[in-house]
Amino acid sequence: MYDLALHLPRAPPSGSHGNVTIWSEPTPLFILNYLYDKVALKDIVRTTCRPDQCQGKDLAAVQNYRTSLLQVAKSELREKDGAFLMTCFAHGLDNDLSWTQFTVNNRTVRQAVGDWYFGRTSDNVNVDTGPEINPTCKRQLSDDTEITQSLWD
């Protein structure tokens, strides 16, 4: 709010009451997440099965988590927002591999975030459409992604 007064109109908008009026502009949002975040599945959903191997109640819980995340994203995204949501059983996008190798709609995370940030495209929502594990994620991650310990344990 540094020097906010320098950027506001001198007269309050019509219909305002009193001397104080605060204008706010929503900050653009980019949602970047795995739809099968393995830590969330363990700590929130309370399942340790891999999504492609779950059965019964575990499968229903995993699918419900994915569906809920998609619904929240859809309800919260505005015109200037963006998203990269992929069906990957992993946690964290903190390495070059996840930014350059994983793709949705033939776009990497790096391309999607860059296009959104620099306004190079108006189509900034990249979401895996099916519940199957994204093939680019499946190829890059080893089968040793079993959840054995929570981050909070």
pLDDT, tens digit, for every residue of 105-152? 999 999 999 999 999 999 999 999 888 889 988 765 554 444 443 333
Domain ranges of the chain: 31-140
pLDDT one-digit tens code per residue, 77-96: 999 999 999 999 888 887 78
Q: How far is CA 112 from the centre of its chain?
A: 12
Euclidean distance between CA atoms 88 and 2, whole angstroms: 41
The residue count for the chain: 153
pLDDT one-digit tens code per residue, 24-52: 778 899 999 999 998 999 999 999 898 98
Q: Rounded to whole angstroms, what are the CA distances from 147 to 20, 59, 89, 132?
A: 53, 16, 10, 19
Neighbours of 59 (CB within 10 A): 16
What does the block give as tokens for 56?
A: 């019964």
